[in-house]
Amino acid sequence: MVPQLTVDDTPTAEPTARDQVLDAARAARDAQPRLAVLTRARKDAVLLAMADALTGRSAKIVAANAEDLAAADAAGMDPGLRDRLVLDAERIVSIAQQLRDAAALPDPVGDVVRGSVLANGLQLREVRVPFGVVGMIYEARPNVTVDAAGLALKSGNAIVLRGGSAARHSNEAIIAVLREVLLEQELPDDLIVGIDAHGREGADALMGARGLVDVLIPRGGAGLIRRVVERSTVPVIETGTGTTHVFVDASADLEQAVPIVLNAKTQRVGVCNALETLLVHADAAGTALPVLAAALVGAGVTLHVDDRSRAILDAVAATVDPAAVVDAVPEDWDLEYLSLDLSVRVVEDLDAALAHIRAHSSGHTESILTRDLAASQRFVQEVDSAVVMVNASTRFSDGGEFGFGAEIGISTQKLHARGPMGLPELTSTKWIVIGQGHVRP
């Protein structure tokens, strides 16, 4: 599509990182039409062959991973990050399983979204088609390399992968295996290309490859996502950041509220659908807050509280350890802690809760705990977030929980996809119009 092609492809004597990334994206683009016309059966066979190859050739991958781990240890990498980087034979079996799972999912390509026959007899169908080339920028988690490549392949898309530099050797070994299988299956290996070797400059080139890459999906922390959103001229699907709220309404059932709040905050901490701010209706705060706080602090949570919460909790220092209660600073209301910390605020009423959420939510997931039908209806209608819940833990905001079978990420933007994204969100559509000599009057 020439008019969209705004990249400069003048050859130079020494190819720069930028040139090499644009060449890689162009190769992926040229290869993709071969994939677009493949049947589901053929795509599933390729995915299963890839799964077999990953486990069968895992020694090479583990060896490459050892290089990354040695560098990580030398650099004193955070233990949590290091754990995500580790690959052993067992983990590779579970990563290969992701490809088998992708094979088992329905193929979105070709699905008829809408269709009709117009008054003049023209037959109209809107059908799902692959995007073309998907770019993925993510952090040092080699399992994402396999997951993203598998879902892209299943949805008919070529993919350009840019993982974290700390996982470079692991990613390159994995991508080499996947590309070998593509060739063995008589498909172009450029359907899956990795650009980790080209560093930061390569990532910037990918963000500028408008016309070569159809959509760019960042997966990772808030900083990574913001950088991609701000720099990319390729359309981006923004994922992930969750400053998630639970509002305990005046009529909330406290026996339900305690396990829901505890589950939302502590069932898993470092994830985007974990709870970050608890709002409590003033009419319920006197009874509810001490019980909620005791349960949370008992589970190891530090509470960052406003003045009204402080006044209530100071009176129950016997059941809520004062050491776990700190005064909130203004920044707390906008934080995604991803840790055993929770902002807590007493709000005057539903309107105040809605106003707080409007001002501070990242638009990911919010939940109201209530027995009041009208309050639940207003909350559901007026909260402008990807997922709005009633009497449920925010941890259910997840593609797997929603039954999608696979999750590309959770979109916090409003264009194209919102909330958990499954395979259909990796497709576009086209309109097919069948006539019998039709001309427009």
- Tallying the residues shown for the chain, one arrives at 441
User: Judged by CB under 8 A, which of 312, 395, 406, 408 binds a copy of itself?
Assistant: 395
Q: Which stretch binds a copy of itself (CB under 8 A): 3-11, 40-48, 85-93, 307-315?
A: 3-11
The amino acid present at 385, given as its one-letter code, is: S
Task: Identify which of residues 270 and 437 has a Cβ nearer to a copy of itself in the complex.
Answer: 437
**Contact region with a copy of itself (CB under 8 A), list: 41-49, 139-147, 179-187, 409-417:** 409-417
Q: Is 380 in the site for a copy of itself (CB under 8 A)?
A: yes
**Residue 229: exposed, middle, or buried by beta-carbon count in 10 A (0-12, 13-18, 19+)?**
middle
Please name the residues in contact with 76: beta carbons below 8 A apart, sequence gap of 6 or more. none
Which residues 119-138 are close enough to bind a copy of itself by CB under 8 A? 122, 124, 126, 129, 131-132
Taking CB under 8 A as the rule, does residue 438 contact a copy of itself?
Answer: yes
Amino acid at site 15: P
Question: Which 3 state secondary structure label does DSSP give 280?
Answer: strand
Q: Is 156 in the site for a copy of itself (CB under 8 A)?
A: no
Q: Which is nearer to a copy of itself, 102 or 257 (CB)?
A: 257
Pairing relationship of beta strands 112-117 and 123-130 according to DSSP bridges: antiparallel
Among 84, 221, 391, 405, binds a copy of itself (CB under 8 A): 391
Coil, strand or helix at 409: strand
Give the binding range for a copy of itself (CB under 8 A) out of 59-67, 179-187, 192-200, 417-425: 417-425
**The only residue of 246, 260, 328, 347 in contact with a copy of itself, by rule CB under 8 A:** 260
Tokens of 360: 């501070």
Torsion of CA 207, 211, 212, 213, to 10 degrees: 50
User: Running DSSP on this structure, what letter comes out for residue 167?
Assistant: G
Residue 308 CA: distances (Å) to CA of 46, 282, 284, 320, 358: 59, 9, 12, 15, 21
CB within 8 A of 66, min separation 6: which ones?
none
Rounded-to-integer distance, Cα 186 and Cα 241, Å: 40
Bridge partners of residue 326, in order along the sequence: 304
Verify binding: residue 218, a copy of itself, rule CB under 8 A. no
Scanning 69-77, 116-124, 138-146, 172-180 for contacts with a copy of itself by CB under 8 A, the matching segment is 116-124
Which two tokens mark 40?
Answer: 């589901």
CB-wise, 2 or 318, nearer to a copy of itself?
A: 2
Among 55, 97, 185, 263, binds a copy of itself (CB under 8 A): 263
| 270 contacts a copy of itself (rule: CB under 8 A) | no
Measured from the CB of residue 153, what is the shortest distance to a copy of itself in angstroms?
18
Q: Please tell me whether residue 230 binds a copy of itself under the rule CB under 8 A.
A: yes
Q: Which stretch binds a copy of itself (CB under 8 A): 16-24, 48-56, 341-349, 398-406?
A: 398-406
Per-residue string for binding with a copy of itself, 333-362, x by CB under 8 A? Answer: -x-----------------------xxxxx
